[in-house]
Structure 1
Amino acid sequence: MQQVKNTSKDFEVIIIGGGLAGLCNAIHLSKYGKKVVLFEKNTYPRHKVCGEYISNEVLPYLDFLEINPFHFGAVHIEDFQLSTTNNKLISAKLPLGGFGISRFTLDFQLSKKALQNGVTIIQDTVKNSFFKEDVFTVTTKKNEAFTAKIVIGAFGKRSGLDVVLQRNFIQKKSPYLGVKIHVKGEFPEQRVALHNFKGGYCGVSKVEKDAINLCYITNFSSFKKYKNIDDFQEQVVYQNTFLKKIFRNSTPIFRQPLTISQISFESKKQIENHMIMCGDAAGMIHPLCGNGMSMAIQSAQIASKLILNYLEGTILTRTQLEKQYIRQWKKEFGWRLKAGHFIAKLFRNNTIANLMLQVLQKLPFLLPIIIKQTHGKPIKL
């Protein structure tokens, strides 16, 4: 991947992690002429385990960043479908709507925009971050050191840096495993579906190039009873007849499924050692709610606006910056996270989940109300 050449190792902002939150921060800050370096250990483009559905709430902000996902093949999504483990089904219109686009495409296009804006992107792994006398020094696996006034941690769900920072959630083992594949087959373009099976659930939606994204999460204790992914799918996932039909009547695009383990839904701090955490590094909504990508993008907007105010002197102290970020982050996402954890907890109990669906079938107007609890309103610029 082409990189902006920059011999200096002194920046205004260092961003650790080149996912949605990191790249959106980079584009936003560089749009205002700030000197930004972003570290990402992998090259673009690449696939990630992700539901790849995004709420329309972020479209005004993406437009501000000069990114139109529909120019890159994103598909409009308007309908939602939900099934439980006993194959009961309910459908509803999404209150705000959304779109489907792969991380392969979206991350790549965001990285191209960041480079166009003058962001320095370095393929390397950050090993540590030190804060002394109001300046950060970040060291990398290639034994280089970089300094900046601000460091943004946007390194995703779980990172070696979490261990170095001794973050509380990293001390606890997480029992969840995520699996994702892209397939070719029949599925309505305007729909996102969430199909439950014993011990997990699978999101289904179209992305660009007529591909269907199948991404499921399950409890690792359930998964390890079986020889491999194929065996688990045959014996467990296919007990949901809707999933069985989709998997059986489609052709895999990937040679092998992508997997990720140790997915943690524990609470996280939004500030660690004065680093501003964004995206999944700050807090992760349960994938059952299907809105993590929107939250990552929106967290970048919150962080970037405050950082610009701090660098330009409107926010006078780092303490004020940190307090305002925590307050705004919790105001925007606190209720969503609580609602998401509560909904996920209910769905882990098959009896309660099936009872809930029976209620929703009789009172379908409740489903859009529930969906709204884990989604926001269109971002105000």
Structure 2
Amino acid sequence: MTALVWGADLLRPSVRRDRVRTARVQSGPLEASLTASGTVVPAIEHVISSPIDARVLAVLRRVGDHLKAGDPIVRLDTSDSELDAEKLRQNIALKGNEQARTRLTLESQLIELDGQIKSKDLELQALTAALASNQALAKEGLVSKEALRESELKAAQADVDLGRLKQSRVNAEATNRTQLEGLSLEMRSLHAEDAQQRRLLELTTTQSDRNGVLTFVQDEEGALVRRGDVVARVADLTAFRVEATTSDVNASRISVGQPVSVRLDDLVTAGHVSVVEPQMQNGALKFLVSLDQPDATWLRSNLRVDVQVITDRKARVLRVARGPFAQGGGAQQVFVLRSNRAYRTPVRLGVSNFDWFEVVEGLAEGDEIIASDMRDYESAPELRVK
């Protein structure tokens, strides 16, 4: 690529035009951004927890297996839970017997009270008839006042007794209804516990509730898992998001809602910052990106991607395409092409993104620069271009 020529007592290096990359300064919009590294992850990952305290009997699937909804993953030991379920069934049977006995007892009480009421009602009718007869005889002077008074008292007492029996029946009926409702409530509670226990037993062969890929499984057979412990995770691979990290020096420049560009070579999709984790880890800030096209065909789980967080938008600036000639903004030395010469020129670059550097000073619109890595010529003020 390089040749040496003599001229004006100066040893001048040269480069071949077809061996270097060039870029032209132009005017246009520029979105300033900061760079982060990202990893594509499933947007949804279903966590399957143990429904009971149990031991792992069998691991039916391995990490990486593709699952369909309903596929079993892990089988858990159910012996203790089955014992609890059997106790519940026995309690339901006992409570049912208690409920039946109570109903029969209460029905017997009501039948007995009904009999007493009927008997007392007949007695009252007889006493009332006797009273009416004595009252008629008393008008003719055939019955003494004492006998009439005694008839009145007996009829009044029978009427009071009948009223008391009827009220006792009302009270007994209300008490019976309360007792039966209480027993029914206990029975419903036991049935609900039994249904829950049956559901838990059905879940002990943990199943995937969706199509996806198994990303984690408790694969140690015989291991004890507590109720609520994670035994498997199933990722839905039809939609993705990006987990990104950047230097903690950028923490103040990243916030929820900022637009983001995610790129893999020439493949690009847009998104926005959805979560910024509050704590730094090892000098890095982690944030999550929701994608506008989470089901883009080129997205793959664990795929490494470049992430650009848009921090500013400028409607019109001088800009030049990114290239190895500069690693960042600030003061730079670039070679500007003039005919068959390239002149070393100090410039200052501003903000940048995937594609462009902002030119702050040192270059004009239309200037053409060498965009290749020119560190081998950093001491040369001028180059011949062949």
Q: TM-score, normalised by structure 2?
A: 0.18
Whichever structure has more strand as a proportion of its residues is 2
Q: TM-score, normalised by structure 1?
A: 0.18
Structure with more contact order per residue of length (Cα contacts < 8 Å, sep ≥ 6): 2
> Between Structure 1 and Structure 2, whose CA radius of gyration is higher?
2
Whichever structure has more helix as a proportion of its residues is 1
